[in-house]
Amino acid sequence: MKSNGKHLHFFAIISDAVSTLWSIIVPLGFGFAWGMRHLGQIAGYALIILLVIIVFNFFKWLRFKYEFIDDQFHIRSGVLVRSDRYIRIQRIQSVQIKTNLLLRLLGVVQLKFDTADQASKGDMVLSALKLEEAERIKAEVSRGKTQKSIIFAVEDPTEAPKVVDDSPKKVYALSGKRLLAASLLTSKVGVVLAAVFGLWSQADDFIPDSIQGRSLSYLEHASLVGMVIIIGMAILMLWFVSLVSALLRWGFFKLSIHEGEWRIHRGVWETSDETYKTDRVQAIRIKEQWVQQLFGWCTVYADCSGSIDLEKSDGGSVLVFPLLRKKELPDFLETAIPRFAGPIKHHPLPVRGTLYRMILPALFWIALCCTLTWRLDWGKYTLIALPFILAYFWFKNRSEGWALMDKRLIVINRWLTKTTTITRRNHIQSFAKKQSRIQKKLNLSTCAATIRASTAESITIRQLDEQDADKLLQWFRKK
């Protein structure tokens, strides 16, 4: 399997240069916008910086070589600090291929290896490759792995060698109707709102004074009805933007379930093909936003061990499927990942715990009210919100719960989104029982199970009966 070192596609220089530039520009942010206005004066420097980046990336490209050596993949890289990295093909968990529109036009893709390292250790990325070359590497890696497994099978004669079946067991695709529903139900309006406000606060930098003056005076003279219409339009716009962004994010989402692995394809602008081994999954998270819950839908995430791109997934979890009816969920889990499947029930938490947890927000709000009443005329009216806040916390806490099902632990948590986490005993790394003095008096305690995800993640059950906490502890200790 010996092969000589190969360079990346030539385009890597440009794509790396762009990403370096981007990483310089983003932190500078609006300082850069200022720079753009004075471009005439600083053009020389900007050009020099650009040139330095491109030259540097050229050398990086020249130095970057990869090859297969026997059962290892060898990457040589680094201009100033030279590094040689050998990865056993056995240790490569999965190969991911990614492109975006620009790259696709050139027939170039990005290839990434996932290993068991934590995400912070950095991934092995081949930033630009011809599509055929990427496919070849992928095939080589999977061949290296199957060869090894056949050797294992020979060593263990009782087990017949498995025939690797490459056809998917089942394919879940996001249909058009569902995609639309998904984008309607997932309100990322908040994020968009923040972005628009951010832009607006910077807007006076961009908009020439004449136009700005006019638009503001128009706003001041608008009647109440006009204002309502403008605000309504703005909300509609925001919603539309979030809809489009959701469409772009989830367009052509396809999950194919193979023997022991998931292949997830997604994206309109930036397509990505990802493979996840199901034995890496440490926990399944089922999220229901309140709108989704109203219509009986949910989103399924998986927490996997090893390196996961933090940007692409939500907080280190892998999006398994964006929108699923709650009644389809048992079937879906049964086909996708049988060891996490089963009935999802929960015991509610004790009422005294709920009441105890309501004390803190109540106290906080009352303190806020007092300060406001002291300082402002209308301060006392904020007290009206107190019952609503208490009611919200009551319902929020009452909907939480936990359950033990043989080897599975199910925990339901809620802030705004209801999250049901399913994990198994053999995935829990350590288990903690916490108790403050007040909790001890009330016979309550808090439990936290730590699992190994891309970052150490803990699943917390707050304010459950102390006996139940002890039961959980014993359950975890049992072999």
Partner 1 sequence: MTNIIFWLGIGGFITSILFFDWPHFLFYIAGALAALNILQLILYVFIFPSINYRTFFYEIRQEDLLIQNGIFIITQTVIPFTRVQNVETSQGPLLRKHRLTAVSVTTAAGEHEIPALEESDALALRDQIAELIKENPANEI
Chain positions contacting partner 1, by CB under 8 A? 279, 305, 426-427, 429-437, 439, 446, 450-453, 456-458, 473, 476-477, 479
Q: How far is the CB of 445 from partner 1 (least distance, A)?
A: 9
Q: How far is the CB of 458 from partner 1 (least distance, A)?
A: 8
Q: Decide whether 342 or 348 has the Cβ nearer to partner 1.
A: 342
- Of 266, 276, 270, the closest CA to residue 303 belongs to 276
β-pairing verdict for 65-69 and 401-405: unpaired
Q: Decide whether 380 or 440 has the Cβ nearer to partner 1.
A: 440
Q: Decide whether 275 or 305 has the Cβ nearer to partner 1.
A: 305
- Amino acid letter, 470: D
- Beta carbons of 337 and 278 less than 8 angstroms apart: yes
- Beta carbons of 272 and 96 less than 8 angstroms apart: yes
- Of 389, 386, 385, the closest CA to residue 397 belongs to 389
Q: How far is the CB of 453 from partner 1 (least distance, A)?
A: 8
Q: Decide whether 327 or 437 has the Cβ nearer to partner 1.
A: 437
Q: How far is the CB of 338 from partner 1 (least distance, A)?
A: 13
Q: How far is the CB of 163 from partner 1 (least distance, A)?
A: 22
Q: Decide whether 365 or 476 has the Cβ nearer to partner 1.
A: 476
- Is residue 14 within a helix (H) or strand (E), and if so which, with residue range? helix 12-28
Q: 129: Cβ–Cβ under 8 A, 6 or more apart, which residues?
A: 8, 9, 108, 109, 110, 111, 137
Task: Give the side-chain half-sphere CA count within 13 A for 281.
Answer: 27
Q: Decide whether 210 or 474 has the Cβ nearer to partner 1.
A: 474
Q: How far is the CB of 304 from partner 1 (least distance, A)?
A: 12
Q: CA 306, CA 115: separation in Å to the nearest integer?
A: 6
What CA dihedral angle connects 68, 304, 264 and 293, to 10 degrees?
Answer: -170
Locus of tokens 């060593």: 155
H runs (alpha helix) in 207-289: 209-221, 224-250
- Beta carbons of 162 and 149 less than 8 angstroms apart: yes
Q: How far is the CB of 389 from partner 1 (least distance, A)?
A: 25
Q: CA 302, CA 312: separation in Å to the nearest integer?
A: 13
Question: How many CB atoms are located within 10 Å of the residue 438 CB?
Answer: 10
Q: How far is the CB of 402 from partner 1 (least distance, A)?
A: 17
DSSP state of 85: E
Q: Decide whether 375 or 479 has the Cβ nearer to partner 1.
A: 479
β-pairing verdict for 94-99 and 261-266: unpaired
Q: How far is the CB of 440 from partner 1 (least distance, A)?
A: 8
Dihedral sign, CA of 92, 94, 100, 106?
Answer: positive
Q: Decide whether 178 or 280 has the Cβ nearer to partner 1.
A: 280
Q: Decide whether 259 or 279 has the Cβ nearer to partner 1.
A: 279
Q: Decide whether 372 or 448 has the Cβ nearer to partner 1.
A: 448
Q: CA 310, CA 455: separation in Å to the nearest integer?
A: 10
Q: How far is the CB of 477 from partner 1 (least distance, A)?
A: 6
Query: Helix crossing, 30-37 with 12-28: angle to 10°?
Result: 100
